[in-house]
Amino acid sequence: MGIDRRDFLKLTGALTFILAAEKGWAQTAKVEVHWLGQATTKVTALTGKVIVIDPFLTKNPKTPPQYKNLDALGKVDVILITHGHGDHVGNLGRTDGSSDAAELAKRTGAKVLGPAGLIDTMLDLGWVTPEQGIRFAKGGRVTPAGPQITITQVRAEHSSEVAVVDPVTKKRTTYPGGEPAGFIVEFENGFKLYHMGDTGLFGDMRFIGEYYKPDLILMPIGGHFVMDPRDAAYATREMLKPRYVIPIHYGTFPVLKGTPQEYQAALGQTPTQVFPISPGDKLTF
Ligand SMILES: [Zn+2]
């Protein structure tokens, strides 16, 4: 990737110190971001709450082998799903009619949150129980991980369907998946992580940047279904202007051609720090 991981550690150590000083938190408190390939991200909050976004693990070609076992994630408090596609609900490649989101919810008892129409379909499919599934919509703020952590659903420019293959008949059925979305998670110390989900460029990224002021963005750059590196660079530099970006949703399948190198080249000189990490890498902020 061209960047020494020791440099990441040095940088993130410095970031933790600066944030802690700004917010008056103990210097040991940090948000841990663990990227597991494609859009799958495990986030651990300062108080230890664990949020998993878009779990696509068991059949994800980029997920490190040890994380293809869902138990490896340990305790999970909240599962967030941006939209219904198989690489986000995690049924892509599965042949049992279930999904990684469903199995992870079963194992952990986590609350499962997403666009209302997607949760409806997950309820109908038996992927989540009525006790676990929480429907909400764009603009809504929810606190399923406790009052100190706020999750806001925001717009994404994409589509959302849930395609399921019956394990017995092999018949494929496509269900509505609600509106595609992104999520902004504001942690106990005010740090804001924005997981964009799958999205093309849209003008309200400027509004999201101005209004929500995300610190760290997990940004899709692969092209074809989402922004390509040039689009992502424009979004970063001209509209969202975050402090940090982790590029995601590239290289998992041949059509997702964009690379972090192309994204950084398109970005040029910018105040935004880019972390082109590998699946399985963790950063702390
Ligand atoms: Zn998608």
In order, the DSSP letters of 63-92 are S-GGGSSGGGG---SEEE---SSIIIII-T
C-alpha 158 to ligand 1 mean position (Å) = 7
**228 CA distance to ligand 1 middle (Å):** 14
DSSP state letter for 215: S
Q: Which two tokens stand for residue 195?
A: 């997981």
Q: What is the pLDDT of residue 27?
A: 44
CA distances from 262 to 267, 268, 272 (A): 8, 10, 15
Contact residues for 151 (Cβ-Cβ < 8 A; gap 6+): 51, 78, 80, 113, 141, 142, 143, 144, 145, 183, 184, 185, 186
Residue 205: predicted pLDDT: 98
CA distance 266 to 259: 11
What is the DSSP secondary structure assignment for residue 237, as one 8-state letter? I
What's the pLDDT at 29? 79
CA of 62 relative to ligand 1 center, distance in Å: 16
- Identity of the residue numbered 182: G
Note the pLDDT tens digit of each residue in 99-145: 999 999 999 999 999 999 999 999 999 999 999 999 999 999 999 99
Quote the ligand 1 centre to 13 CA distance (angstroms). 33
Output the CA 164–ligand 1 centroid distance in Å: 15
Output the pTM of the full model. 0.91
- Number of Cβ within 10 Å of residue 195's Cβ equals 29
CA dist 114 → 62, 67, 85, 168 (Å): 24, 23, 13, 28
Residue 225 CA to ligand 1 center (angstroms) comes to 7
pLDDT, position 141 = 98
* Distance between Cα 191 and ligand 1 center (Å): 26
Residue 88 CA, ligand 1 centroid: distance in Å: 7
Mean pLDDT by 10 residues, the chain (285 residues): 47 49 55 98 97 98 97 97 98 97 98 98 98 98 98 98 97 98 97 98 98 98 98 98 98 96 97 98 97
Neighbour tally for 62: CB within 10 Å:
17
- Give me the numbers of helices (H) and strands (E) for the chain, helices first please: 6, 16
Nearest to 249 by CA among 259, 235, 238, 237: 259
Q: Which of 232, 240, 228 is nearest to 268 (CA)?
A: 232
- In whole numbers, what is the pLDDT of the chain averaged over residues? 93
Q: How far is the CA of 9 from the centre of ligand 1 (A)?
A: 31
**The amino acid at 116:** A
pLDDT for residue 8? 54
Rounded distance between C-alpha atoms, residue 266 and residue 211, angstroms = 25
Distance in Å, CA 189 to ligand 1 centroid? 31
* Cβ(217)–Cβ(227) below 8 Å: no
| Span from the CA of 199 to the centroid of ligand 1 (angstroms) | 8
Distance 25 CA to ligand 1 centre (A): 37
Q: How far is the CA of 101 from the centre of ligand 1 (A)?
A: 15
